[in-house]
Amino acid sequence: MFKKILVTGGAGFIGSHLVDALVKEGHEVIVVDNLSTGKRSNLNSKAKFYEVDIGSSKLKDVFRKEKPEYVFHLAAQINVRKSIVDPIEDAKTNILGSLNLLENCKNYKVKKIIFSSSGGAIYGDTKIIPTPETVIPHPQSPYAIAKLAVEQYLDFYYKVYGLNYTILRYANVYGPRQDACGEAGVIAIFSEKIRQNKPITINGNGRQTRDFIYVKDVAKANIIAITKGSNNLYNIGTGKETNINNLVKLIKFSIYGNKPNRILRIKYKSKVNGEISRSCLNINKANKDGFLNNSINIFEGLKDML
């Protein structure tokens, strides 16, 4: 059965892929995005678009007019390093903006909200790798603190107001339309540098690891959350670690194959405060509940992206 769905951040990297998938399934989709990082070129022509900030009082007008049944919340300040430099600005969007959205969801009787959280940031440095949802989070950046705060607000709105939710804690997402912004865009950044035969800068020694998941798998997991996982949270990743040094080699191979004349030039800088050493998500729970069926491995994903 087709549904009326609002997507915040629907002109962004992940949000636009989700909107495309929802439209393809026949749902009526409304996009809310302030275009601070989202792009008009990412917008699906079959979705209705409102250029509105999630923290604005104008968001109420969108809810009053459209009355969405389901809400996907992806709008955010996504740069971990920026959140460290300016935590107040980060909180304005990621906490206060999210609260404004939740108030509208409550007031206009939304059936369910699906929240894009961050497994790649929330857990912090932990001894349990891959990390399951049962590990107590130790966020090491204002960005991660804000994501965890919104998760707890969601639980409050469910218990007090009956607003259903599903939380998806993403690993490091990559794919087409990725903005070369902060660590989240590391594959896009490295790919461009390698194509231009420019040196690559790596913060730290390059042995830090991340769990890279393809954006189309993330979009599928979101759609599954419409009917599954109510009032629960799930890690959305691959369960596999890739260190940054090996990632660079994989990208080079994906672009040029085994051409010996292509030499990688790498510059190493000091580790950035707030960035964790190892990150990999345990996805047993998501697999069990059908969120990650037939997911794409990094070799296939890089080939498709590049």
Tens of each residue's pLDDT in the chain, 306 residues = 899 999 999 999 999 999 999 999 999 999 999 999 999 999 999 999 999 999 999 999 999 999 999 999 999 998 888 999 999 999 999 999 999 999 999 999 999 999 999 998 999 999 999 999 999 999 999 999 999 999 999 999 999 999 999 999 999 999 999 976 545 588 999 998 998 889 999 999 999 999 999 999 999 999 999 999 999 999 999 999 999 999 999 999 998 887 767 788 899 998 877 678 899 999 999 999 999 988 899 989 998 888
In this structure, the strands spanning 70-73 and 4-8 are parallel
Token pair in block for residue 288: 């069990």
Position 111 scores a pLDDT of 98
**31 strand-pairing partners:** 7, 49
- Best CA proximity match to 148, nearest among 122, 120, 113: 122
- Is the preceding omega at residue 87 within 30 degrees of 0, hence cis? no
In this structure, the strands spanning 209-210 and 242-243 are antiparallel
Point out the catalytic residue in the list 143, 157, 170, 234: 143
What single-letter amino acid sits at 52? V
Tell me the C-alpha distance between 120 and 137, whole Å: 11
User: What CATH number belongs to 4-175+209-241+277-305?
Assistant: 3.40.50.720
Position 240 scores a pLDDT of 95
Position 199 scores a pLDDT of 93
Position 295 scores a pLDDT of 87
Position 289 scores a pLDDT of 97
Tell me the C-alpha distance between 80 and 182, whole Å: 7
Position 257 scores a pLDDT of 85
Token pair in block for residue 271: 């580790």
Tell me what percent of the chain is helix, strand and coil, each rounded to the nearest 5.
Answer: 40, 20, 40
CB 76 within 8 A of CB 173: no
Tell me the C-alpha distance between 221 and 228, whole Å: 10
- What is the separation of C-alpha 132 from the centre of its chain, rounded to a whole number of angstroms? 18
Position 247 scores a pLDDT of 95
Tell me the C-alpha distance between 25 and 10, whole Å: 16
Domain limits of the chain? 4-175+209-241+277-305
CB 114 within 8 A of CB 103: no
Residue partners of 253: CB distance under 8 A and separation at least 6 = none
Q: For this structure, is 143 an active site residue?
A: yes
Tell me the C-alpha distance between 305 and 175, whole Å: 5
What are 184-218's pLDDT values in tens digits?
588 999 998 998 889 999 999 999 999 999 999 99
| Rg (alpha carbons) of the chain, rounded to whole number | 19
